[in-house]
């Protein structure tokens, strides 16, 4: 893959090993008194982009074999997959348009997907959470980051991807709202956290911001990669 795409490089990524939705927990922090609250528990670990390419990004027969081995040995079809934790953002403009991107044919992730939403990764390096710093006996060993730090980076990643891919600044964005978890079987069953974000910009303003910003990476064509899809059609299930 490096021969075909020399720009690729390895980096640590979070691994989403599983999750428990609707977990009831006792909450004494946010309310100041004991109460019951439903929270999502994410089971995070560490992996890297190299392992992602060697598992989730393999051909279908290889992915099927890895899923079968995971089920037989670990009781989990994705037990031997990298399962890099990604974030995907549905950005809504003031004129009720959802912003999408047309992907370049040479993109390495989801090459069969022609249109996608802004997406990327939460970064372990932003939390001082690199493998060589967490291993027992490591020279520069650090304590594990708190849950609050990890959650902050995941939500920050959603805004970062919108800023980097569309050129929309943070001060024109609302706080991300987690709306679900998506499992993508075109990428070996990888999970993505889906966020909804609104911008105080119209679709025309977003288009101009994207065209003038340095956001045109290898993953998207430029500047005509930007597409707008009416929110009402999305809610009606018209996005195919």
Query: How does residue 222 score in pLDDT terms, banded at 50, 70 and 90?
Result: very low
What are the pLDDT digits (tens) for 129-140?
A: 877 665 666 666
Long-range contacts of 173-177 (CB under 8 A, 24+ apart): 173/91, 173/197, 173/198, 173/199, 173/200, 174/198, 174/199, 176/89
C-alpha distance from residue 74 to each of 14, 45, 50, 57, 66 (Å): 20, 16, 22, 21, 11
Torsion sign (Cα): 6, 60, 75, 72:
negative
Query: How does residue 32 score in pLDDT terms, banded at 50, 70 and 90?
Result: very low
CB count in 10 Å sphere of residue 6 = 8
DSSP string, 146-167: PHHHHHHHHHHHHHHHHHHHH-
Helix ranges, 75-172 (H):
131-134, 147-166
Q: Which pair of structure tokens corresponds to residue 26? A: 């006792």
What are the pLDDT digits (tens) for 151-195?
A: 999 999 999 999 999 999 999 999 999 998 999 988 999 999 999
Please, which residues bridge with residue 190 across strands? 184
For residues 10-23, give the mean pLDDT.
Answer: 85
What backbone torsions phi and psi does residue 165 show, to the nearest 5 degrees? -90, -25
- Which are the contacts of 121, defined by CB distance < 8 A and separation ≥ 6? 13, 14, 84, 85, 86, 87, 157
Average pLDDT score over the chain: 82
pLDDT of residue 30: 42
Diameter of the chain by CA atoms? 58
E-strand stretches of the chain: 12-27, 35-48, 86-92, 97-102, 115-116, 119-121, 177-184, 190-198, 226-230
């Amino acid at each position: 893959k490096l021969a075909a795409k020399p720009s690729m490089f390895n980096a640590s990524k979070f691994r989403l090993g599983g999750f428990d939705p609707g977990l009831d927990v006792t909450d004494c922090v946010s309310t100041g008194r004991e109460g019951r609250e439903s929270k999502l528990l994410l089971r995070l670990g560490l992996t890297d982009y190299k392992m992602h390419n060697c598992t989730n990004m393999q051909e279908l027969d290889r992915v099927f074999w890895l899923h079968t081995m995971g089920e037989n040995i670990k009781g989990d079809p994705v037990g031997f997959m990298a399962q890099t934790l990604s974030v995907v953002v549905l950005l809504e403009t003031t004129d009720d348009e959802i912003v999408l991107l047309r992907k370049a044919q040479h993109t390495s992730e989801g090459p069969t997907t022609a249109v996608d939403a802004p997406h990327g990764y939460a970064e372990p390096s932003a939390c001082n959470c690199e493998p060589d710093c967490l291993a027992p006996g490591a020279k520069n060993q650090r304590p594990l980051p708190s849950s609050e730090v990890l959650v902050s980076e995941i939500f920050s990643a959603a805004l970062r991807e919108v800023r980097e891919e569309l050129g929309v600044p943070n001060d024109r964005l609302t706080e991300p709202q987690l709306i679900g978890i998506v499992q993508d079987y075109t990428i070996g069953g990888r999970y993505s956290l889906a966020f909804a974000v609104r911008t105080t910009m119209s679709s025309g303003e977003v288009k101009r911001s994207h065209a003038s910003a340095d956001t045109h990476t290898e993953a998207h064509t430029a500047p005509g990669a930007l597409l707008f899809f009416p929110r009402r059609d999305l809610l009606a299930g018209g996005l195919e």
